[in-house]
Structure 1
Amino acid sequence: MKALIYDGPEQLGLRDAPEPVPDKGQQLIKILAVGICGSDMHAYLGHDNRRPAPLILGHEAAGVIVGGARDGERVTVNPLVTCGTCKACTSGKDNLCPERMIISMPPREGAFAQFVAMRDENLVTVPDHVSFDQACLAEPIACGWHTVRLARETLQEPATTALVIGGGAIGLGAALSLKAQGVAEVTIVEPNALRRATLNDACGQNAISPDDLDAAAMFDLVIDGVGYAATRKTASAHARPGGVIGHIGLGEDAGGLDIRRMTLQEITFIGTYTYTAQDFRDTARAIFDGRLGPLNWTEARPLSDGPAAFADIRAGATSAPKIVLHPHP
């Protein structure tokens, strides 16, 4: 099969790789759409030692099962594999399983390839009216869905206003999840003018530049989809007293939070990691039901254009919140 292989910082090569052989309880999936994630970008830039070269990256995938009793079934892939038996797994917090693994991290190759093997319980059937480009968005949007759910539960009262920091796919997914979960007023802060225009004109969002964020504006919930010191500073400045910050981004490890203000104003900070299996299923259902909108804001490219797509994202030269690669011609 053809695969896009990470060979080192800012080095990607399209070449032949062994086709995966599914184990018992697994299916072979012909990948028809796979999104480029921020974590893929971290690896591409050499910033993620959990993803050493050479490695097939990619974990936001959808496609068709090949062979067996489920041959031809359209599916989207939950890439997070957990043990299923530990306390975290049995209490509905399987994303915190100490044995969790995700495809695109050793020993599991990723989905920037023509085929992937995955166990049955990680596959969600996709109805015919949903495209594969839409279906592969279940993974990135589930991250925001999970964060919004936790933040709303922590607030313990109805949230009416929210600020989302970052207008990439994670931030946009969080904004869509906020609306789907009943938060009426959502503002996205996005510094890239090209992307900001897309958010406003094509995605139906209220996206503003950081300079246009009123210093006195306060929000029930703040979702940081970037995770840099500067964005955490913004988050802790704009969560209202008693508000909640949901932190998804992994841009850098430290700095930014105004701990004094957060302590005096009883602002809760929640770090979030991926999503539970139920969050993934709930997000997929919201996609299928149309509650997250048309999801027509992706840009599709063939897998062979992967290196150029990564370079364009690196340069901030693409307006689309998500580039989706097609591994098959």
Structure 2
Amino acid sequence: MKALVYDGVETLTFRDVPDAVAADGEHLIKVEAVGICGSDMHAYLGHDARRPAPLILGHEAAGTIVNGDRAGTRVTINPLVTCMACPACLAGRENLCPDRQIMSMQPREGAFAQYISAPWRNLVEVPANVPLNKASLAEPLAVSWHAVRLALGALHASMDRTALVVGGGAIGLAAALALRAMGVDDITVAEPNAARAAFLADRCGLRVVATAEGAFSIVIDAVGYAATRAVASTHAAPGGVIAHVGLGEDAGGIDVRRLTLQEITFIGTYTYSAQDFRDTAEAIFDGRLGPLDWTDQRPLAQGAAAFRDLRAGAVAAPTIILNPWA
């Protein structure tokens, strides 16, 4: 089969690899749409020791089952494969499973390929009227759905629900859409890239600013650098909540003194539970997350160029979706 393989720092090769096979008790899926995630970019830049080369990256995928009694079923894929037996899994917090595996991280190859294997419990059936390129957005949308759910759960009931999203990439846009779907109407996105900011305002109908001003009861840091954490620390209202989603940089930026004196809740959020993923998929299917028409579509064969464009900041769309069969 064909795959886009991470072969070293800033090196991706579209080439033949051994055919994927279904693991015991799993389904083989023909991948028909797969998005480029920020974590794929971190690996591409050599910043993720958990993803050593050579490795097939990619975990935001949807496609069609090709084996067994469910052959022909269109599905979107939850890439977190967990033990289902530990206290975290039994509590419905599968994302905290100590034995979790993630597609695109050893020992599981990713979805920048024509086929991938996954257990049935990780698959959500996609209705016939929903395009698979939209269904593939369930994974990044679920990351933000989870973060917004936690932030709203932590917010004191007395506070007005105003939100600042720091970063207008896929996770930031997904956070804005999740906030809107959960009843938050006052949403501002801080995005310094002028082309992307214009795209978000024109295509997605969002209020976008280059630099945040004022105070917000909810701040979603969808980037995770010291500079964006500093923005979050500055603009969180007293008694407010910061949900930190991005993994751009490990340290710096948090004003611990201000968080302490102003009783600002800081929540680190990681991926999503299985229920979050299913809820997000349903929100895609029933239209609560909007038309989802803001992606850049390219063949997987052009994946290396897509990464270079993202690296150069030359992509206005919040995410690029690759087609392994184009």
TM-score, normalising length: structure 1 = 0.98
CA shift, 1:224, in A, is: 0.1
Q: Find runs of 4+ consecutive structure 1 residues off by over 2 angstroms.
A: none
Indicate the residue corresponding to 1:291 in structure 2: 288
Q: Check whether the contact 1:159–1:183 (CA below 8 A) recurs between aligned residues.
A: no
Q: Check whether the contact 1:171–1:225 (CA below 8 A) recurs between aligned residues.
A: yes
Indicate the residue corresponding to 2:88 in structure 1: 88
Indicate the residue corresponding to 2:198 in structure 1: 197
Q: Check whether the contact 1:59–1:110 (CA below 8 A) recurs between aligned residues.
A: yes
- CA distance in structure 2 between the partners assigned to 1:26 and 1:191 by the alignment: 43
CA shift, 1:25, in A, is: 2.2
Indicate the residue corresponding to 2:7 in structure 1: 7
Pairing of 1:176-255 with structure 2 (within 5 A)? 176-210=177-211, 213-214=212-213, 217-255=214-252
- CA distance in structure 1 between the partners assigned to 2:182 and 2:104 by the alignment: 30
Indicate the residue corresponding to 1:64 in structure 2: 64
- CA distance in structure 1 between the partners assigned to 2:255 and 2:46 by the alignment: 30
Q: Check whether the contact 1:21–1:117 (CA below 8 A) recurs between aligned residues.
A: yes
2:204 partner SS: coil
- CA distance in structure 2 between the partners assigned to 1:55 and 1:125 by the alignment: 27
User: Is 2:319 the counterpart of 1:322?
Assistant: yes
CA shift, 1:159, in A, is: 5.1
User: Is 2:265 the counterpart of 1:264?
Assistant: no
User: Is 2:302 the counterpart of 1:302?
Assistant: no
2:272 partner SS: coil
Amino acid at match of 1:58: G
User: Is 2:103 the counterpart of 1:103?
Assistant: yes
Q: Check whether the contact 2:75–2:124 (CA below 8 A) recurs between aligned residues.
A: yes
Farther-moved stretch of structure 1 (138-147 vs 19-28): 19-28
TM-score, normalising length: structure 2 = 0.98
Farther-moved stretch of structure 1 (156-165 vs 104-113): 156-165
CA shift, 1:162, in A, is: 0.3
Amino acid at match of 2:41: M
Name structure 2 gaps, 5 residues minimum.
Answer: none
Q: Check whether the contact 1:152–1:159 (CA below 8 A) recurs between aligned residues.
A: no
Indicate the residue corresponding to 2:116 in structure 1: 116
1:27 partner SS: strand
Pairing of 1:18-57 with structure 2 (within 5 A)? 18-57=18-57
1:69 partner SS: helix
CA shift, 1:307, in A, is: 0.4
Cα deviation per residue 1:195-241 (whole Å; 9 max; x = unaligned)? 0010000111111102xx22xx1111000000011100110111111
Amino acid at match of 2:88: A
Q: Check whether the contact 2:156–2:239 (CA below 8 A) recurs between aligned residues.
A: no
- CA distance in structure 2 between the partners assigned to 1:129 and 1:321 by the alignment: 24
Alignment root-mean-square deviation, CA? 0.8
Cα deviation per residue 1:105-146 (whole Å; 9 max; x = unaligned)? 011000000000000000000001111110000000101000
User: Is 2:175 the counterpart of 1:174?
Assistant: yes
- CA distance in structure 1 between the partners assigned to 2:172 and 2:263 by the alignment: 24
- CA distance in structure 1 between the partners assigned to 2:34 and 2:205 by the alignment: 24
Q: Check whether the contact 1:195–1:319 (CA below 8 A) recurs between aligned residues.
A: yes
Amino acid at match of 1:115: Y
1:202 partner SS: helix
- CA distance in structure 1 between the partners assigned to 2:68 and 2:99 by the alignment: 28
Cα deviation per residue 1:233-287 (whole Å; 9 max; x = unaligned)? 1101111111000000011011111111111100000001000000000000000
Name structure 1 gaps, 5 residues minimum.
Answer: none
1:47 partner SS: coil
Q: Check whether the contact 1:236–1:257 (CA below 8 A) recurs between aligned residues.
A: yes
CA shift, 1:81, in A, is: 0.6
